[in-house]
A and B are shown apart, each in its own frame.
Chain A
Amino acid sequence: MNKAEQQRLQRLVASAQEIASLGQRVQEQGGKLDTKEQKILEKLEKLAKKEAKVKQKMLKLDGKLEKLDTKAEKVNKKGAAIKKKSEKIAKKRARLSTSEGGK
């Protein structure tokens, strides 16, 4: 084996060592990424649950608001009916007033 071949062999050994260390790093990093991915999956699941809870609350609130709207409309109608009644009474008063004025 000549000197050049020896040098190439040394370089090869160095490369192999580097590959071994790179391989280890890739393996470790792969494990780290798996853990991260798992954590993200758990977070996604947690968020989906939160979303379902919020959605449920929204549905409950929606029902409550609809009830509130119905009640407000009912009270509105009552107010309008009373207003009509008050106007009728005012007219009655005016008629009485006129007939009395004529007496």
Chain B
Amino acid sequence: MPTRKSKSRKSPARVLASLSLKPAQDALNRLAAGQDQDEKRLDKIEAKLDKQEMKFDKLEGKLDKIETKADKLETKLDKLEKKYDKIEAKYDKIEAKYDRRPPMPVPTVSPLPAPLLVAVTAKLSRLLGARPSVGARFPRSVGQPDELEQALDKVEKELDKDEANFDKLEADLDKREKDYDQLEKDLDNLEAALDGIELDLDRQVVA
């Protein structure tokens, strides 16, 4: 004789048939959709990182180029300094000859053309711009993709700023190079003029 309990017991098949797997299915679907979204975000982040890697390589190339230009300018400045020393010695010689010369028509000694050297208007080093300390910019973990993306956007803006600064610096160095070349020519002309004056003075003394 069946008990009350066994009377109410359903067969396993009936129990199964009464179950619904929809909540689990929905949860999995939501999870899968979230994963798809995460994948898209990670792909986007990866693309940003690739772009930034290229930007860093470009910046590095620019820095190397600027360094070469700076070295060239330094050599030019050394050359200019030597020329100045030579010209100064010539002026001293001419002055001494003036002091010793007998009374006679005086050859012209023109003052140096002004300005002789392009003044250092902006400190070159300031053109590099201030940068945050190394490591502070790049997050070390993926964490929240949104936050990482925002951090990378910030980095990209800074890299663009750096690039603009480097371009400005390069243009400044190019301009200086031209100015120094012109000054070198001016100093060569001045040297020739001083040689002429010295020769005139010597001739006058001999005469």
Q: Give residues of chain B (67-123) contacting chain A, Cβ–Cβ below 8 Å.
A: 67, 70-71, 73-74, 77-78, 80-81, 84-85, 87-88, 91-92, 94-95, 98, 103-106, 108-112, 114-117, 119-120, 123
Q: By the criterion CB–CB under 8 Å, are B88 and A85 in contact?
A: yes
Main SS of chain A's interface residues?
Answer: helix
Task: Give the interface size class of chain B.
Answer: 35 or more
Query: Per a CB cutoff under 8 Å, which of B70, B74, B91 touches A85?
Result: B91
Q: By the criterion CB–CB under 8 Å, are B18 and A8 in contact?
A: yes
Q: By the criterion CB–CB under 8 Å, are B29 and A58 in contact?
A: no
- Cβ of B14 within 8 Å of any chain A Cβ, yes or no, is yes
Residue numbers of B with Cβ under 8 A of A are 11, 13-14, 16-22, 24-25, 28-29, 31-32, 35-36, 38-39, 42-43, 45-46, 49-50, 52-53, 56-57, 59-60, 63-64, 66-67, 70-71, 73-74, 77-78, 80-81, 84-85, 87-88, 91-92, 94-95, 98, 103-106, 108-112, 114-117, 119-120, 123-125, 127-128, 131, 134-135, 137-142
